[in-house]
Structure 1
Amino acid sequence: MKIHFIGIGGIGTSAIARIMQSQGHEISGSDLEQTTLTKDLVRGGIKIFPRQEASNITEDIDLIIFTEAIDQEVNPEFQRAQELGLILKSYREALGIISKEKKTIAVVGSHGKTTVTALLINIFLEAGEDFSALLGGKMEELGGANFRVGKGDYFLAEACEYKENFSEIRPVAAVLTNVEVDHLDYYRDEDHYKGAFSKFLSQVDKKGFVVLNMDDQNSQEVSEKVSCRKVTYSLKKKADYWGPKKGFGKFTLYQGSDCLGDISLNIPGEHNIYNALAAAACALEVQIPFEAVKRGLEKFGGSWRRLEYRGSLNKAPVFDDYGHHPTQVKATLKALKEKYPKKKLICVYQPHQYSRTKYFLEKFGKAFLEADEVIVPNIYCVRDSGKDLEDISPERLVAEISKWHPNCRERKGFEETIRYLREAASEDDLVVVMGAGDVYKITEELIGKK
């Protein structure tokens, strides 16, 4: 088949494109922004149009797959495909099609799903399983890719809740990390958001299971009516799988009352112990041996843009992180401070969406207490209305953070931020660049890599 992707550069769409290419299909696509992901696709033999134009869509295309991020009313490629009567499938529908071909284990949740999926992938690799996978980040263990195609039965899929992108998946098992309201440019309110998770969990095979965070009240609420088996994990109390913390990145893994052994992670932070517990519980439930689980967890060094060490600036370590929600910001900064207690922590934070910044403004104000210095270069604008842009600004965010933090300032754009860091950073410092937009470009400039 000849398949064209509208918005092929997204982390999910790019993975589906590569999976379908491996199945023998001829793939093309378009994207307005050229990134490391689109460059990888081009190197893999996929033709990418740098502009979305009607002329990119021809009658001989068998299938159009489009990202949920486009405006269907005005997108010229989408409109042309409709005029020609071509078959159109959304990203969520395409993910559903792929998942039906395998025994799908879906990892969902507001925070941590990329890391949990990556940990599961590493465990399955250590166990010698020939599985398929789709990940919301790149992994060295996958050769720098965000997907894997195998001949085995299992498909490990990170499934995003944005616009209910997970709604077409019918998994044999699911891992729910936690539930905290987000994506309020789509969801009406918290009840609508939580309802999407409840609906998804109801689609898990009745003979399967769902892994739940026992320490997260919302996870318990949205799973009340599931018809499959519930498998719990906890860091704070006895559960089906639980792990008392023993120090930096260390915990003892228990299955009920049975002690399985000690685990020592290479990724910092209490939130990553939770991620490891979730992955371990799922893997052990599908009969992966504990020895492989232990190796997979302990060998894992992190995934792309998840507290990723990228290099140094003036001997100061530089990390890149995708965090864009107040809870994620707090967890990341706490983990870095735990690992580098004597370093001055400089956080460069680019909010993702004016609408998200407006909704979580008070929570963002208190999210940076672990940082010694906070820099806001700008706000990344995507799916924002004119009113959103009127209601919030970098200056207002800085003012809110400054109520709780003595050293927060706005730097007017990337160039000023880069110039300041090059002059100010020293070996006594630690720099973390955070956000889900294009703020990674600052990291690349600081360390001289693109």
Structure 2
Amino acid sequence: MLVEKRGKEVYPAYMEHVHFIGVGGIGVSALARYYLSIGATVSGSDLVASEITRALAEKGATVIIGNHAALNLLSGATRVIYTAATPQTNPELKEAKRRKLSTQTYAEAVGDLTRQYRTVTISGSHGKSTTTAMTSLVMEAGYLDPTVIIGTKVREFGDSNFRSGKGSHLVLEADEWNKSFLHYSPHVAVVTNIDAEHLDTYKTVEAVEQAFSEYLGKVPQDGTIIANADDSRLAVVAKKFGPKVAWYSVKDMEAKKVKPLLKVPGTHNLSNALAALTAGRVLGVLEPDILRALSQFRGTWRRFEMKGLYKGAHLVSDYGHHPREIMATLSAAREHFPMRRIWCVFQPHQYQRLKYLWNDFLSAFDMADRVVLLPVYDVAGREILAAKKAVNSLLLAEGLQERGKDAWHSASFPEARQFLDEGLRRGDVLLVMGAGDIYDLTTDLANHTIEA
């Protein structure tokens, strides 16, 4: 029986009432599902309803939508878990402290969980979600029956971001934003790459590298680091851990064996699959089971997700929001749809990211034939005024035009849809990308598709 100590009280986990602030977040909602799976009472609040909050309610959680308020914290709550973006002035958090309830950030709570399992973490600036899904399915095929917390929805998990397992392993997508992954205790740590990402937290790529080094230092002596030898920054950071590291590379001979099996396109997905292959081997999964799992994998939610035909064009939804992700996804589109005209409808995610990586964004769309930019998605609690004054989507469109790119700016989703309706041709590829509410545009378009 799992028993957790919280403040002055000791509760069996199934007797807890856990309240989540920001329960609609992709990571927080997965943790909420974990607590539902062990029989705990779960409540949560968020500003806006979504398919994630609706799915939680269907699973039995009490979900309160609207402005945060002390009344949202129900009388039976024993513990509060909140997102790192939650300010200390949040009325629900203040009420929890007034009642002297246990309070933790999401990363702190998950960190506790990692010490109750033999934990496999998947981290890296790009490719975490897909690699986590692949690794989880490899472990499932190897009869390890893992519990999984992941930052996307997986078809094989019933379109969920959580899998409840009876085995001793937890598979966790470990995010580096706000140094969250430093709270975790991995036994096996898979790292896909290190890039200039989340610079609102780190300021410099050197600081990102230092954080990954600290994180990998948490792997015990009898544990394993699985690292991508093709990533130059990661190669330098991981090399210092010597024989503890198991390397993988798309240049390896086995890449030729794996690539024909994959149903997801792109060199980046081949690399992700090789990471999962290496993890499976480290964990003792038989090779035929590993290859079968990889061959059956058809992708995840908002990761090069095929949505059907819209106006005769192939509609693809993708979460990519960093220049390197945009380039990788466009390369995959070129591979999967050769000789087609590729549209990229993109919503920049966070003014600070756009400002820090401005020059990289200017070259990120080189493989697209036509680019449509939507207004920047303003990330609450993570923006600064100077960045908002310095950059925006209209300036990015102008910068792309100066490079000779067929680039346009749309001020709203309806305007973008009208522009698409007037310009799309049968056989085109319509790639809709971003980590913000551009998913609403994708959903609107998908509601008018036919099966490809």
TM range (shorter): over 0.9
Q: Residue 86 of structure 2 aligns to which amino acid in structure 1? A: I
SS in 2 for 1:185: helix
SS in 2 for 1:85: coil
**TM-score, with structure 1 as normaliser:** 0.93
Cα shift readout 1:387-433 (whole Å, capped 9, x = no counterpart): 22111111111122223343001011111001221232221211010
Correspondence list, 1:301-340, <5 A: 301-340=298-337
Q: Residue 136 of structure 2 aligns to which amino acid in structure 1? A: I
Asked if the contact 2:262/2:297 (under 8 Å) is kept, the reply is yes
SS in 2 for 1:252: helix
Q: Residue 398 of structure 2 aligns to which amino acid in structure 1? A: A
Task: Quote the Cα distance in structure 2 between the aligned partners of 1:369 and 1:168.
Answer: 38
- Alpha-carbon shift at residue 59 of structure 1 (Å): 5.0
Correspondence list, 1:76-115, <5 A: 76-115=91-130
Counterpart of 1:2 in structure 2 is 17
Cα distance change on mapping 1:14 and 1:218 into 2, 3 Å? same
Counterpart of 1:347 in structure 2 is 344
Q: Does 1:264 align with 2:261?
A: yes
Task: Quote the Cα distance in structure 2 between the aligned partners of 1:69 and 1:315.
Answer: 41
Q: Residue 368 of structure 2 aligns to which amino acid in structure 1? A: A
- Alpha-carbon shift at residue 132 of structure 1 (Å): 0.7
Cα shift readout 1:28-62 (whole Å, capped 9, x = no counterpart): 00011212111111111111111211111245321
Asked if the contact 2:348/2:374 (under 8 Å) is kept, the reply is no
Task: Quote the Cα distance in structure 2 between the aligned partners of 1:168 and 1:228.
Answer: 24
Counterpart of 2:401 in structure 1 is 402
Task: Quote the Cα distance in structure 2 between the aligned partners of 1:263 and 1:172.
Answer: 31
Correspondence for 1:371 among 362, 368, 371: 368
Task: Quote the Cα distance in structure 2 between the aligned partners of 1:224 and 1:281.
Answer: 17
Task: Quote the Cα distance in structure 2 between the aligned partners of 1:198 and 1:35.
Answer: 36
- Alpha-carbon shift at residue 227 of structure 1 (Å): 7.1
Q: Residue 172 of structure 2 aligns to which amino acid in structure 1? A: A
Correspondence list, 1:45-444, <5 A: 45-51=60-66, 52-72=68-88, 74-226=89-241, 229-236=244-251, 238=252, 242-244=253-255, 251-252=256-257, 263-382=260-379, 383-444=382-443
Runs of 4+ in 1 over 6 A off after TM superposition: none
Cα distance change on mapping 1:128 and 1:30 into 2, 3 Å? same
Counterpart of 1:43 in structure 2 is 58
Task: Quote the Cα distance in structure 2 between the aligned partners of 1:234 and 1:331.
Answer: 16
Cα shift readout 1:219-257 (whole Å, capped 9, x = no counterpart): 122224437711001112x5xxx534xxxxxx225xxxx
Q: Percent identity?
A: 35
Cα distance change on mapping 1:164 and 1:376 into 2, 3 Å? same
SS in 1 for 2:345: strand
Task: Quote the Cα distance in structure 2 between the aligned partners of 1:219 and 1:112.
Answer: 14
Asked if the contact 1:346/1:432 (under 8 Å) is kept, the reply is yes
- Alpha-carbon shift at residue 21 of structure 1 (Å): 1.1
SS in 1 for 2:181: coil
**TM-score, with structure 2 as normaliser:** 0.92
- Alpha-carbon shift at residue 84 of structure 1 (Å): 2.1
Q: Extract unaligned runs of 5+ from structure 1.
A: 245-250, 254-261
Asked if the contact 2:239/2:245 (under 8 Å) is kept, the reply is no
Cα shift readout 1:154-174 (whole Å, capped 9, x = no counterpart): 111111001111112111101
Asked if the contact 1:109/1:178 (under 8 Å) is kept, the reply is yes
Task: Quote the Cα distance in structure 1 between the aligned partners of 2:324 and 2:445.
Answer: 26
SS in 1 for 2:183: coil
Asked if the contact 2:314/2:427 (under 8 Å) is kept, the reply is no
- Alpha-carbon shift at residue 83 of structure 1 (Å): 2.1
Task: Quote the Cα distance in structure 2 between the aligned partners of 1:113 and 1:449.
Answer: 31
Asked if the contact 2:147/2:164 (under 8 Å) is kept, the reply is yes
Q: Residue 433 of structure 1 aligns to which amino acid in structure 2? A: V
Asked if the contact 1:326/1:363 (under 8 Å) is kept, the reply is yes
Q: Extract unaligned runs of 5+ from structure 2.
A: 1-15
The structure richer in helix per residue is: 2
Cα shift readout 1:61-112 (whole Å, capped 9, x = no counterpart): 210000012222x311112222222210110111112211111000000000
Counterpart of 2:8 in structure 1 is none
Cα shift readout 1:359-380 (whole Å, capped 9, x = no counterpart): 1111100010111100002110
Task: Quote the Cα distance in structure 2 between the aligned partners of 1:180 and 1:232.
Answer: 18
- Alpha-carbon shift at residue 127 of structure 1 (Å): 2.4
Task: Quote the Cα distance in structure 1 between the aligned partners of 2:271 and 2:235.
Answer: 16
Asked if the contact 1:365/1:402 (under 8 Å) is kept, the reply is no
